[in-house]
């Protein structure tokens, strides 16, 4: 059995839903390089085991780690085990071959993260198949019973609500309650039933968001059930929030309303351009066609159209969204080139050659401006941005693998 050792270093990686982007990138790396499974290692950070940031208090970090990150491991079936180290130096006693580490080039002296979608964008450029989070079977069985008890013969429609004020100055991550009340009114005599999943902190709020609408408290606290509810429902709606990510990259039918917010770095147009390789109006990288981004605020008509009219089938769940336009290809190429160059600072892999082979195709097709790949890499060697002999090693690997990049 060939095992990929994946390092989530909490000194440089957040205790947040970004962890699931890391898992997605790790899984694409595993499949691409033909590993059988994943061994996951958590390395503690300097602030009581976590990164120095102001996202959460120490108590909130611990709760999130135990209630979201640890159970979230089970959403990726290829992970065979995990370790949570008590201190950073313990990593020195774990004998992991460098060539089997993810992120590539990771070391305690020079730690690397991989939670910002760059690996996913690069997988899109390589034209790889989408990968999915999958809830455990016990949770799926329980979710189906719960939904049957609530909905009877009606089809479940799930609305996940973000109620946290942090990083939401523009309110673009909050639902428009009047719109959803209109949707509720329209669904009253239909074959569909709306169910609300609230923020964990608000799950036991005595004041419901809507009258006579079920708020599924267990899903706010039980991660496996939360995502089993999504995969067992007709459709799930989100605004841009943390919990959307594992549902969006699963076989659930998902609609996420999104927009730019220039008041928060990770929601700006520049952030989406440089880290997701997308523009306004684009679909997310490596998402299957059952997961849809709708840009702009939600409206009653758009919501009802996706409930009543959009047909989701098994084909949608296996086919990923194509590039929306040529600008998306250009943005994604730039993001993935930077990501590949970073990886190559610790040595060259066959996946690098296969990446450059795809880049050559985009050049040939006129999608991106032509450049001499070999000369560009040699220049980076001269500038000491790549190790000496990087190109020599690539050319040798190119001959052995018959990739025909050079």
The domain ranges of the chain are 3-115, 137-308, 326-401
Token pair for residue 368?
Answer: 């991106």
What confidence tier does 395 reach under pLDDT thresholds 50, 70, 90?
very high
Measured between its terminal Cα atoms, the distance across the chain in Å is 33
pLDDT in tens, 110-157: 999 999 999 999 999 999 999 999 999 999 999 999 999 999 999 999
> How confident is the model at residue 168, as a pLDDT?
66
Task: Map residue 8 onto helix, strand or coil.
Answer: strand
pLDDT score, position 111: 95
Q: How is the chain split among helix, strand and coil, in percent rounded to 5?
A: 45, 15, 45
pTM of the model: 0.95
Please name the residue ranges forming H helices in 152-202.
177-187
When mean pLDDT is compared across 89-93, 156-160, 354-358, the lowest value belongs to 89-93
pLDDT band at 375; cut points 50, 70, 90 = very high
CB 19 within 8 A of CB 52: no
8 Å CB contact between 198 and 220: yes
Indicate the helix (H) or strand (E) that contains 235.
strand 235-239
| Coil vs helix vs strand at 236 | strand
Read off the pLDDT band of 296 (50, 70, 90).
Answer: very high
- Express each pLDDT in 11-68 by its tens digit: 999 999 999 999 999 999 999 999 999 999 999 999 999 999 888 899 999 999 999 9
To which CATH superfamily is domain 137-308 assigned? Glycogen Phosphorylase B; (3.40.50.2000)
Backbone φ, ψ for residue 215 (5° rounding)? -110, 115
Asked whether 387 and 394 are in contact (CB, 8 A), the reply is no
> What integer pLDDT is reported at residue 40 of this predicted model?
97
Helix (H) or strand (E) holding 351: helix 350-364
- Percentage of the chain exceeding pLDDT 90: 85
Buried b (16+ CB within 10 A) or exposed e, 2-35: ebbbbbbbbbebbbbbbbbbbbbbbbbbbebeeb
pLDDT the model gives residue 170: 67
Residue 346: the pLDDT is 94
175-221 confidence digits (pLDDT tens) = 999 999 999 999 999 999 999 999 988 878 878 999 999 999 999 99
pLDDT class of 164 with cuts at 50, 70, 90: confident
How large is the average pLDDT for residues 301-323?
A: 90
pLDDT band at 318 (very low <50, low <70, confident <90, very high): confident
Return the H-helix or E-strand segment holding 336: helix 326-344
Which residues, 6+ apart, have CB-to-CB distance to 98 below 8 Å?
Answer: 105, 346, 347
Inter-axis angle of helices 223-231 and 137-151, to 10 degrees?
70
Q: What is the mean pLDDT of residues 292-315?
A: 93
| pLDDT over 90 (residue 92) | no
Residue 314 has pLDDT above 80, yes or no: no
pLDDT at 351 over 80: yes
């Amino acid at each position: 059995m060939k095992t990929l050792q994946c390092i989530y270093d909490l000194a440089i990686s957040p205790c947040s839903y970004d962890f699931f982007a890391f898992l997605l990138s790790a899984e694409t790396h595993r499949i691409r390089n033909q590993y059988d499974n994943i061994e996951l290692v958590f390395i503690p950070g300097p602030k009581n085991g976590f990164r120095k940031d102001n996202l959460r208090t120490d108590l909130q970090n611990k709760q999130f780690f135990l209630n979201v990150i640890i159970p979230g491991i089970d959403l990726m079936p290829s992970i065979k085990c995990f370790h949570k180290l008590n201190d950073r130096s313990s990593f020195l006693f774990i004998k992991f071959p460098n060539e089997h580490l993810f992120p590539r080039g990771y070391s305690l002296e020079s730690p690397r993260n991989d939670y910002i979608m760059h690996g996913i964008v690069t997988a899109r450029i390589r034209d790889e198949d989408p990968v999915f989070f999958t809830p455990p079977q016990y949770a799926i069985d329980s979710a189906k019973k719960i939904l049957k008890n609530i909905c009877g013969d009606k089809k479940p429609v799930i609305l996940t609500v973000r109620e946290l004020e942090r990083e939401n100055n523009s309110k673009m991550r909050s639902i428009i309650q009047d719109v959803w009340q209109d949707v509720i009114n329209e669904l009253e005599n239909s074959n569909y039933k709306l169910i609300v999943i609230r923020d964990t902190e608000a799950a036991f709020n005595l004041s419901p968001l809507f009258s006579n609408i079920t708020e599924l408290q267990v899903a706010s606290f039980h991660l496996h059930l939360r995502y089993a509810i999504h995969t067992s429902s007709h459709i799930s709606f989100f605004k841009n929030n943390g919990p959307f990510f594992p549902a969006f990259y699963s076989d659930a039918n998902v609609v996420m309303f999104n927009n730019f917010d220039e008041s928060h770095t990770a929601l700006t147009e520049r952030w989406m351009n440089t880290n997701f390789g997308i523009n306004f109006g684009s679909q997310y990288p490596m998402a299957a066609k059952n997961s849809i981004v709708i840009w702009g605020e939600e409206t009653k008509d758009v919501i009802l159209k996706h409930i009543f009219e959009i047909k989701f089938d098994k084909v949608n769940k296996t086919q990923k969204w194509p590039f929306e336009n040529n600008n998306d290809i250009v943005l994604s190429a730039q993001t993935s080139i930077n990501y590949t160059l970073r990886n190559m600072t610790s040595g060259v892999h066959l996946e690098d050659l296969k990446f450059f082979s795809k880049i050559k195709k985009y050049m040939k097709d006129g999608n991106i401006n032509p450049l001499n790949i070999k000369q560009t890499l040699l220049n980076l060697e001269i500038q000491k941005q790549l190790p000496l002999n990087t190109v020599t090693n690539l050319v040798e690997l190119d001959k052995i693998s018959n990739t025909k990049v050079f």
